[in-house]
């Protein structure tokens, strides 16, 4: 029931493609409404808002084009929900629950600003060595896009994305940043390993990185493997992707730095790579049959996902500790359902589940 005509983003039909299965979906760089004379805070906020809209519509297109074996289930629609932060800023949460393809998908934008006290500045230092903490409160600005998608079918991987821009200004001149950085990445969390899908996901992200700097991909792929490590389980959360933080114009790779405009270009490419990296994997696997045992394994893997997010994830911990934070938006990353078994018999060597475990314990290069 879906067609390219249903989606009108900015009227450019070149942006819509048909995949090999005949399903319409929207590839990267759908919208680019950017004005270089604007301050970066505005440009990045516009970028993430447009990308949010674009991704939400693409996911709804997948929902409406999916022929469900259970015709009682209507195609999933996002609940769009704008919110204001009393301390300064706004956001928009789009959440889809109990669709035909996606059990839970959250696509969240926030644009927040306010004053950052000395303690807050100091606590950011370990991850942001370029920051020069002051003994007084300084204006800050942060905007970002966060996505977590948990599909119903255990053969369709969970995916995560986050891209953000952060600025600190002088109180005397709040419109001119004294310190700023980009951060982000995206990563894939399958329950079952399909090697060509893993390669595809990494290849698309690598291409987006290589366009901008030959050193980016290798570094950010490794950073991702290190960041999404569930230490107490001795395993990675998923098969990785890319992750970077504190990327600014004094960051050097192989003695080479990039200016702000170049870094923004990179962030646009990397975030635009999300749909082409993920959507083909969804379309390819969403009609596969699954057994009760495979569903049980998915639920156990979701439990591990919850463990990572609540115990280690920086954004979640920071968010939950922030007074006035919107908990529903922060915890939309959690799956609809999860499972914990004591000494589970699943994931043993020689099984399909064991094959995944092997990769989670020993991350691979993939491309």
Residue 219 to residue 215: CA distance in whole angstroms = 7
Catalytic pick from 54, 160, 202, 213?
A: 160
> Following DSSP, what letter does each residue of 12-59 receive, concatenated?
-GGG-EE-TTS-EE--S-------TTS-HHHHHHHHHHHHHHHHHHHH
Whether residue 108 contacts residue 55, with contact meaning beta carbons closer than 8 Å, is answered with no
C-alpha span between 336 and 140 (Å, rounded): 33
Q: Among 4, 178, 338, 346, which residue interacts with its own copies (rule: CB under 8 A)? A: 338
Kindly state the tokens that stand for 58: 């693409």
Among 9, 325, 346, 367, binds its own copies (CB under 8 A): 325
Q: Quick one: which segment of 46-54, 182-190, 267-275, 302-310 binds its own copies (CB under 8 A)?
A: 302-310
Residue 291 C-beta: closest distance to its own copies, Å: 18
- The residues in 64-93 that bind its own copies, with binding defined as CB under 8 A, are 79, 81, 93
Binds its own copies by CB under 8 A, chosen from 4, 73, 306, 357? 306
Q: Which is nearer to its own copies, 146 or 248 (CB)?
A: 146
> What are the DSSP calls for 226-238, one per residue?
HHTEEGGGTEESS
Q: In the bound complex, what is the minimum distance in angstroms from residue 108's beta carbon to its own copies? A: 10
**Sign of the Cα pseudo-torsion (201, 161, 280, 235, in order):** positive
Binding mask 248-287 for its own copies (x = CB under 8 A): ----------------------------------------
Q: Which stretch binds its own copies (CB under 8 A): 21-29, 119-127, 176-184, 321-329?
A: 321-329
Q: How far is the CB of 79 from its own copies (least distance, A)?
A: 7
CA distance 130 to 246: 8
Residue list 211-250, contact with its own copies (CB under 8 A): 231-233
Based on CB atoms, which residue is closest to its own copies, 108 or 169?
108
What token pair was written down for 169? 């200004």
Cβ 95 vs Cβ 104: under 8 Å? yes
**Comparing C-alpha atoms, which of 307, 308, 306 is closest to residue 332?**
306
Residue number with CB closer to its own copies (84 or 311):
311
Residue from 311, 314, 348, 354 touching its own copies (CB under 8 A): that is: 311
To the nearest 10 degrees (0 to 180), the angle between helices 216-227 and 195-210 is 130
Using CB under 8 A as the binding rule, whether residue 357 contacts its own copies is answered as no
Is 225 within 8 Å of 161 (Cβ atoms)?
no
Told to judge if 362 belongs to the known catalytic residues of this protein, a careful annotator would answer no
Q: Least Å distance between CB 31 and its own copies?
A: 25
H/E stretch holding 300: helix 292-311
Quick check: 97 binds its own copies (CB under 8 A)? yes
Sequence-separated (6 or more) residues with CB below 8 Å from residue 46 = 33, 34, 38
Among 104, 202, 237, 301, binds its own copies (CB under 8 A): 104
List the catalytic residues: 160
Q: Which residues bind its own copies (CB under 8 A)?
A: 79, 81, 93, 95, 97, 104, 106, 231-233, 299, 303, 306-307, 310-311, 317, 320-321, 325, 327-328, 330-332, 334-343
């Amino acid at each position: 029931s879906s067609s390219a005509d249903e989606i009108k983003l900015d009227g450019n039909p070149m942006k819509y493609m048909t995949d090999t299965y005949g399903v319409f979906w929207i590839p990267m760089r759908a919208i680019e409404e950017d004005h270089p004379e604007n301050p970066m805070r505005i440009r990045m906020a516009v970028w993430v808002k447009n990308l949010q809209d674009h991704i939400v519509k693409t996911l709804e297109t997948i929902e409406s084009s999916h022929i469900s074996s259970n015709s009682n289930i209507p195609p999933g629609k996002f609940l769009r929900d704008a919110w204001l932060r009393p301390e300064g800023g706004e956001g928009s949460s789009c959440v889809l629950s109990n669709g035909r393809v996606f059990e839970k998908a959250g696509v969240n934008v926030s644009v927040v600003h306010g004053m950052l006290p000395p303690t807050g500045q100091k606590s950011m230092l370990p991850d942001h060595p370029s920051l020069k903490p002051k003994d007084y409160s300084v204006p800050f600005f942060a905007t970002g896009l966060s996505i977590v998608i948990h599909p119903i079918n255990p053969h369709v991987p969970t995916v995560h994305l986050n891209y953000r821009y952060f600025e600190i200004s002088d109180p005397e001149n709040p419109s001119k940043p004294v310190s700023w950085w980009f951060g982000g990445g995206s990563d894939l969390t399958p329950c079952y390993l399909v090697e060509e899908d893993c390669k595809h996901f990494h290849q698309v992200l690598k291409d987006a990185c290589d366009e901008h700097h030959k050193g980016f991909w290798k570094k950010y792929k490794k950073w991702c493997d290190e960041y999404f490590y569930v230490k107490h389980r001795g395993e990675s959360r998923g098969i990785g992707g890319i992750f970077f933080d504190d990327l600014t114009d004094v960051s050097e790779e192989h003695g080479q730095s990039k200016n702000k405009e170049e870094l923004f270009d990179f962030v646009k490419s990397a975030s635009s790579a999300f749909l082409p990296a993920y959507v083909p994997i969804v379309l390819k696997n969403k009609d596969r049959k699954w057994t009760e045992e495979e569903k049980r394994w998915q639920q156990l893997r979701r439990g591990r996902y919850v463990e990572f997010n609540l115990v280690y994830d920086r954004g979640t911990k920071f968010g939950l500790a922030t007074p006035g934070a919107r908990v529903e938006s922060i915890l939309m990353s959690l799956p609809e359902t999860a499972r914990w078994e004591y000494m589970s018999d699943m994931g043993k060597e020689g099984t399909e589940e064991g094959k995944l475990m092997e990769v989670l314990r020993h991350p691979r290069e993939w491309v």
